[in-house]
Amino acid sequence: MLRQAVSSARGFSRGFSSSPNRRDLFDFLRRRSIKPSQETEPVPKATKESTADVMKRAEQGQVKAPERRKLRVIGLPDEGPSWEEARNGFDLKAFPTGYVSPQLTAQSVDSALKSAYSNLWSSAPEDYLSKRLDNLNERFEFTKSVVQHLGVAIPDAVVSQLQTVGDIQAYFVDRVVGKKFNEKEPDAVYFDPAEFEGLNVRFEDAKEEKTREVKKWKELVRQAKEHDRLERARLMEEAAKSD
């Protein structure tokens, strides 16, 4: 009786699992809403063309070269008129951006100050350094002329503190002339070897020292390779004699 009940239960489960799936109302409405034109169509496979066929069609003129489009670069003058006509008399001068100059001398500073003084007022008198620059417009024009002549900029905060022509001269002589500064190494310290003469202090140029180290290393590598070559030759010669 137990086996018969189990077999009948198995038959019932097989019959239940093989029954068709029942669709609900939403499935029926969804299938009706899909039109034949909206049904997805299989994407045709791209046909592969051999290189020989492509070259053959290109020789026959059947392959069109891509159209080249010329881009207009904003800021450049047109090709037709010359640059002189395009700028229409406009002259652009690059304003200096550096604040120090190792090559600058005190004589160059005095020459620039006298030239700027003559351009704004008259020939520079002997006491031209005492000329006050209380007029901000005159101070700006004067410092701009000096900066363009020397090729060294003055920070705006410093310009606001310079009251006389002598102040400008003192600023250039004390903080610009002969000074070194590298924007990539803002914390670098530069020493003047002349200030340490007679002391047990020696200054080494980092670039020259590195160059010497590289040359020394290359020489050691060359000697090692030469020693290895001679040792190989000796071993081969001994092996040949032993044979």
Same domain, yes or no: 153 and 197: yes
| Within a domain: 141 | yes
For residue 103, the model assigns a pLDDT of 76
Same domain, yes or no: 175 and 219: no
Nearest partner of 177 among 111, 93, 94, judged by Cα: 111
Range of the domain at 152: 98-202
| Within a domain: 33 | no
The residue length of the chain stands at: 243
Same domain, yes or no: 123 and 190: yes
Q: Could you report the per-residue pLDDT of 10-23, keeping only the tens digit for each?
A: 544 444 445 555 56
Count Cβ neighbours within 10 Å for each residue of 71-86 and write b for 16 or more, e otherwise: eeeeeeeeeeeeeeee
Query: Residues 6 or more apart from 164 whose CB is under 8 A from it?
Result: 129, 130, 131, 132, 133
Q: For 220, list phi and psi in degrees, rounded to 5.
A: -65, -40
**Nearest-angstrom CA–CA distance, 198 and 143:** 41
| Within a domain: 162 | yes
| Within a domain: 190 | yes
- Tokens 């410092």 sit at which residue? 143
**Nearest-angstrom CA–CA distance, 165 and 141:** 12
Would you say 151 and 101 are in contact if contact means Cβ atoms under 8 Å apart? yes
- From residue 233, alpha-carbon distances to 219, 220, 223 in Å are 21, 20, 15
* Alpha-carbon dihedral sign for residues 52, 54, 55, 60: positive
For residue 164, the model assigns a pLDDT of 92
| Within a domain: 173 | yes
| Within a domain: 27 | no
Same domain, yes or no: 210 and 162: no
Same domain, yes or no: 158 and 178: yes
For residue 14, the model assigns a pLDDT of 47
Rg (CA), the chain: 44
For residue 225, the model assigns a pLDDT of 93
**Nearest-angstrom CA–CA distance, 97 and 127:** 30
Same domain, yes or no: 195 and 113: yes
- From residue 58, alpha-carbon distances to 48, 67, 184 in Å are 16, 16, 55
Q: Could you report the per-residue pLDDT of 55-79, keeping only the tens digit for each?
A: 888 778 777 766 777 666 565 555 5
Same domain, yes or no: 209 and 196: no
pTM: 0.40
> Where residue 149 sits, what CATH number does that domain have?
1.10.1200.10
The count of structural domains within the chain is 2
Same domain, yes or no: 153 and 219: no
| Within a domain: 228 | yes
Same domain, yes or no: 229 and 214: yes
Same domain, yes or no: 130 and 177: yes
Instruction: List, in sequence order, every residue forming a beta bridge with 164; answer none if it has no partner.
Output: 132
Same domain, yes or no: 107 and 163: yes
As averages over each run of 10 residues, the pLDDT of the chain (243 residues) reads: 48 49 62 55 68 80 71 58 59 63 83 89 85 90 88 85 91 80 65 76 80 93 93 87 75
| Within a domain: 179 | yes
- Tokens 């791209």 sit at which residue? 46
Same domain, yes or no: 232 and 144: no
